[in-house]
A and B are shown apart, each in its own frame.
Chain A
Amino acid sequence: MTILANILVIFFISVGLLFIVVTVIGLIRLPDLYSRSHAASKSSTLGVMCILLGVFFHFWLKEDHFNPGILLGIVFLFITGPVGAHIMSRSSYIAGVKPWSGTVRDDLKEEFKGKIKKEKL
């Protein structure tokens, strides 16, 4: 039972760490703001959720302490992480940040045609 609990804890924390390292590599290597926010929001949210789950299992299975605050934190991160990335990308699009030159499709261009230049004066 202890070995099983250890495997569970080590698995979740290692997966979380792996995803956070992937986030950092994506932030360094990706070319523009939108792809960087794609990397940062998805994989870092999953990574932090995995680490919190590992901590939760550690305290639950090994220290006999069921901590619902960690589960609440997981739900909270799952709700707010992507919304934060959405708000940041959207506000930088409205502020006029250009996408990468290799972008093939830009659906918001029709929506904001003429409005962004007027705002920027």
Chain B
Amino acid sequence: MKVNNVILQFTAKIVFFIIFFFAIHIFFAGHYTPGGGFVGGLVTASAIVLLIIAFDLNTVQRLLPINYVYLVAIGLILALGTAAISMFVDQPFFTHFFDYFYLPLFGKTSLHTAALFDLGVYLVVVGVTMTIIQTIGDDE
């Protein structure tokens, strides 16, 4: 039966952005408040799942042409590379560094290499969740 899903689709278009920006906020808030790469990745994946529910799998794959297996690989390389930086400057594996920088818009900001490691975790979580859901959903 052909169904008219205009209310669900229009709501999903708006709500997707709210969830996605909230996920980014959770990701960056992880250093000082509850949150971090894992929760941010899961919330991002749930936003994409909302789009898959409202539209369908092929539409969303055309909308976000990402191969999520590559996303997992990029995340793992990023996490491993961040941990390996310290080996080149005669420090133990997994030593993190931070320093204060003066960025034009933000002012005095502390940038920490743990954020890069967290970005790796984020990419791996998004990739794994979306791979599982797409593999289960696409059983034609």
Contacts and interface: CB of A to CB of B under 8 A. Distances in A.
Contacts, number: 23
A72 B7 contact: no
B7 to A, nearest CB: 6
A113 to B, nearest CB: 13
Q: Chain A: interface residue count, which band?
A: 10 to 19
B47 to A, nearest CB: 12
B66 interface: no
B8 interface: yes
Nearest to A75: B18
Nearest to A68: B25
B1 A80 contact: no
**Is chain B's interface secondary structure helix, strand, loop, or mixed overall?**
helix
A104 interface: no
Contacts of B3: 94
Given A115-B1, A119-B1, A76 B18 contact: yes
A87 interface: yes
B18 A72 contact: yes
A79 interface: yes
Interface of B: 1, 3, 7-8, 11, 14-15, 18, 22, 25
Given A72-B18, A79-B11, 7 more contacts: A69-B22, A69-B25, A72-B22, A76-B18, A80-B15, A94-B3, A115-B1
